[in-house]
Amino acid sequence: MVSTDDVKALIAEGEGQRIEFKRSEILSNTTQLAIELTAFANADGGVILVGVKDDGTYERMMSRRGHQELIMNVASDRCEPPVRPLFEQKVVDGALVYVIRVQKSSVPHGVKFHGGTAFFVRVGSTTRSLHPSEVAAKSQSRELPIATHSPDFESRFSRVLDSLVDSLQSNGSYKETHRFMNEVAMMLKERIDAWDESSTEHGTRELFTRLYALSESKAPELYDMFRDLFGRAYQERKQMLEAMIWTIKRVMMESWAPEHNVAKAERACKLLLRLGVDFFHKDLSVTELCASAIDDLASDMFEPEVFSKEILLAAYAYREAQEDSNEDERAFADQLTDWIRENDKRAWDALYKSYFIDSMGFAFAEKETYGIDLRDITVRLYSSINKNINQQIQEFVDFLEDEVQNESHEYSFAVEDLVQIIMAYESVRPEIAKDIEKRILSSNTETQAIFNKLIESSKILTKIYEETGMITTFDEMMAFLETNSDFENVGIGVTAFGVTIIYFSRPLTKSNLQQVEDLAGTYNIGNDLELDSDHLLFEADRLVYKDGQHDMRKLVDFLRDLNSIAKVRSIATGMSFDLRRSPE
């Protein structure tokens, strides 16, 4: 990780063999960008600072979404073989700077043109082209084996992979399945050892895309297989491992657009989360690559199943950095915290204000699976997210103040926005509704009048600010059932029947799932249960009806016991309101 002080030091050092300053216009000249990337890779490696002028002053360029993806696409698509730069975005003295780090490569990299491939090298503070004889000489001087490509690898690999998938899907014998697994792994290792990037990338893509859809119980060794391959690639040549990671990243981005396949995206993120954890102490730059890939998808796809993996990796990094007292690890954990906060802000534009809170729920559900402690990072993240909340509140107040000048006074959008802000964040900031009201009260009287009209026009806002009788919490719902259920079985009041589905506020952990199963058994609905991490489904009749009588007390008690294990978010069930006869 590069700190802001590091960037200042690089600028102070000036352009040279390992440092290049570039204005943002380089991002619209992909050929020149590819030349700079390969020139550094073919020399001693180095750093490109985009947003810094030749004289070392800041350009103060504007941030644009897609810049990182553009740089990585140029490195992958215009460079042969691909360059694997590390990208960071820094704000230095109020100015935006892109930091692109290029590692020294063990093989020559060229830039693809229509007429062929050209090679460049960094010499001092300039870039010059390489003659083919110089390229050959550089390869020989580094004593590199020649990367060989196997033309029939793809067809052979596909046949063996087909056999492995068939064996997994048909519950084939353990011996047969592992024979195919070993054969697939050995074929891919052979291409890794030969430094055959194209075959390695093809094999990585095929292996993941064919196996991810299998249930995790059917393919429990999926990560074990990849971990073995990742380790082999790192041992042979780090660039081969980077090629595999970038292949997984491309699969991840394809899962967003055009597929929007959340299951594929989540499995890919799980793979990179585990890899990032495994390499954290071995080579932090590999973990950075994994984190960057997950973050890119989380910032575009807005699915909590994806974002939660970034939160888990941040939690692991933060805890390890504290225990090791390692500045690089701490800087990496801080960077991840910043990325998480930015993703929460980006989700606002997609009108998904609870993105972070929902993702934290998934992270808590999976922390046991990865053995990651979320306690420390939760405090840190909630503190960071509070800055976003304050910004949301201020933007809402600013909007209402602007509405004073609007003669139409159409407030439906403002009502919806206010409700979303409160609902999204009240679990981490219980006083958020009062905080908003305090800010409004400190504004002008016209804005206060508009705010009062918003409250009057919405039942939920009236409930929040004036404590009216609308049922909006679990305790209020239970109070309603306690008061209105037909506990005496006299045919007057509320009774439940039919299919009941209960959704939880956050996904359940494995231990929670077991507790709910045990609870269902205690209430004799275990045989009728459909239980998943986010919901519970059963027949209310089996719980409340017996021998022609109903017992609503069982439902009330069950709901209270259930809520003590897993916070209830919503309940849908059949209900009968049996009434007394009214006078004729």
Instruction: Please write down the HEC assignment for all residues of 493-558.
Output: EEEEEEEEEEEECCCCCHHHHHHHHHHHHHCCCHHHCEECCCEEEEEHHHHHEECCEECHHHHHHH
Mean pLDDT to the nearest integer, 303-327? 92
Do residues 330 and 320 touch, judged by C-beta distance below 8 A? no
Question: What pLDDT digit, counting tens, does each position of 176-211 carry?
Answer: 888 888 899 999 998 888 888 888 889 999 988 888
Residue intervals in the chain for CATH 3.30.70.1150: 474-578
CA 158, CA 61: separation in Å to the nearest integer?
47
Residue intervals in the chain for CATH 3.30.950.30: 4-141
**Strand 46-50 to 19-22 pairing:** parallel
Mention every residue, 6+ apart, whose C-beta is less than 8 A from residue 562.
502, 516, 519, 536, 568
Mean pLDDT to the nearest integer, 108-114? 85
**The tokens of 373 are what?**
């402690």
- The structure's pTM equals 0.70
Which residue has tokens 């460079």? Answer: 79
Among the listed ranges 99-103, 220-224, 522-526, which one has the minimum average pLDDT value? 220-224
pLDDT for position 259: 77
The CATH fold of domain 474-578 = Alpha-Beta Plaits (3.30.70)
Compute φ and ψ for 111, nearest 5 degrees: -105, 130
Pick the more confident residue, 238 or 209: 209
What is the architecture, at CATH level 2, of domain 4-141? Answer: 2-Layer Sandwich (3.30)
**Residue 88: band (very low, low, confident or very high) from pLDDT cuts 50, 70, 90:** confident
- Average pLDDT across the chain, whole number: 86
CA 404, CA 402: separation in Å to the nearest integer?
5
Mean pLDDT to the nearest integer, 82-95? 87
Mention every residue, 6+ apart, whose C-beta is less than 8 A from residue 299.
65, 339, 342, 343, 346
**Residue 146: band (very low, low, confident or very high) from pLDDT cuts 50, 70, 90:** very low
Question: What pLDDT digit, counting tens, does each position of 395-410 carry?
Answer: 888 888 887 776 556 6
Residue 412, pLDDT above cutoff 80: no
Question: What pLDDT digit, counting tens, does each position of 481-493 carry?
Answer: 999 999 888 889 9
**Residue 362: band (very low, low, confident or very high) from pLDDT cuts 50, 70, 90:** very high
AA letter at 197: E
Q: What is the DSSP letter of 101?
A: E
Do residues 360 and 378 touch, judged by C-beta distance below 8 A? yes
Residue 39, pLDDT above cutoff 90: yes
Do residues 307 and 359 touch, judged by C-beta distance below 8 A? yes
CA 98, CA 52: separation in Å to the nearest integer?
9
Q: What is the DSSP letter of 508?
A: P
Compute φ and ψ for 582, nearest 5 degrees: -90, 155
**Residue 150: band (very low, low, confident or very high) from pLDDT cuts 50, 70, 90:** low
Mention every residue, 6+ apart, whose C-beta is less than 8 A from residue 118.
110, 111, 129
- CA distances (Å), origin 20, targets 28, 29, 157: 17, 16, 43
Pick the more confident residue, 123 or 239: 123
Question: What pLDDT digit, counting tens, does each position of 205-237 carry?
Answer: 998 888 877 756 655 467 888 888 999 888 877
Pick the more confident residue, 261 or 100: 100
**The tokens of 573 are what?**
């069930």
Give per-residue burial for 464-487: e unless 16+ CB within 10 Å, then b: bbeeeeeeeebeebbeebeeebbb
**Strand 535-539 to 549-550 pairing:** unpaired
E strand intervals along 1-106:
19-22, 46-50, 79-80, 86-92, 95-102
Which residue has tokens 């973990």? Answer: 287
**Residue 148: band (very low, low, confident or very high) from pLDDT cuts 50, 70, 90:** low
CA 297, CA 285: separation in Å to the nearest integer?
19
